[in-house]
Copies of this chain bind each other. A is one copy, B any other.
């Protein structure tokens, strides 16, 4: 039997037939404003509320700003501060772009991973978010080194027993222009947030591209971001 981690996100668990297989490392890809960071945040918030320690590691943005953005987007998550105070939800980070100018980026990348690892072990976190992969890519520019670093990251997170989300930027809002990148192949799962629609009204929709170890929906489901969190209108969630 697969051990599933509920995302707690409305409609998404249904698309995943229960949740993300435990210890899976999952890409959340999307354009600007698609809600990648917010979805990753809600994933941790829901888990923290359920009593599981969760770590948000920002690689560029100020952690305080991550929290205030989440509060603005989700006004009904009234207990964010309380949960953070209780240490169930840890929002931290390191401006890793400063590493990019150093001499041995692979070494620095390794040290960053070691720092995150320490944070995870110190806090006994079982869920983690890294925001975003672009920052990692700017540190390790050689394609072989980047690929190796991503494999190492995935292996270390598995070893630590965390189920994670890594946000990833895409350069076109449409599904018809989706182009796969190395990390999409390396990670266990991949969700994409599209901002599509040829008509005068954009429709935001989510697709599960892959989820290793368990079945998932093949439907591209509309979503919106409500004060109470994401709402993914998957047929799987309708039939309930």
Judging by beta carbons under 8 Å apart, are B185 and A209 in contact?
no
Residues of B within 8 A of A176 (CB): 174, 198
Minimum CB–CB distance from A154 to chain B (whole Å) comes to 9
Judging by beta carbons under 8 Å apart, are A209 and B180 in contact?
no
Q: How many copies does the complex hold?
A: 6
Residues of B within 8 A of A212 (CB): 33, 69, 72-73
Interface 1/0 per residue, A125-158 and B, CB below 8 Å: 0000000101000110001110110010001001
Minimum CB–CB distance from A99 to chain B (whole Å) comes to 9
Residues of B within 8 A of A171 (CB): 179-180
Residues of B within 8 A of A172 (CB): 178-180
Q: A33-B209, A180-B171 are in contact. Are A72 and B203 (CB under 8 A)?
A: no
B-contacting 9-mer, from A6-14, A83-91, A214-222: A214-222
Most buried by B among A151, A170, A173, A212: A212
Tally chain A residues at the interface, Cβ within 8 Å: 68
A200–B200 alpha-carbon span in the complex (Å) = 18
Q: A69-B212, A97-B144, A148-B100 are in contact. Are A201 and B219 (CB under 8 A)?
A: yes
> Is the C-beta of A47 less than 8 angstroms from some C-beta in chain B?
no
Majority DSSP secondary structure for residues of A touching B: mixed
Judging by beta carbons under 8 Å apart, are B195 and A60 in contact?
no
State the 10 A-B residue pairs at the shortest beta-carbon distance, nearest first: A33-B210, A72-B213, A100-B144, A138-B144, A202-B218, A32-B184, A97-B148, A200-B220, A171-B180, A32-B185
Enumerate chain A interface residues (CB-CB to B < 8 A): 2, 21, 31-34, 60-62, 65, 68-69, 72-73, 95, 97-98, 100-101, 132, 134, 138-139, 143-145, 147-148, 151, 155, 158, 169-174, 176, 178-180, 182, 184-187, 190, 195, 198, 200-205, 207, 209-215, 218-221, 225
Kindly list 20 other residue pairs between chains A and B, CB separation below 8 angstroms, not including A2-B72, A61-B151, A138-B143.
A31-B180, A31-B184, A31-B209, A32-B180, A32-B185, A32-B187, A34-B210, A60-B147, A60-B151, A62-B155, A65-B158, A72-B212, A73-B212, A95-B151, A97-B148, A100-B148, A134-B182, A138-B144, A195-B209, A200-B220
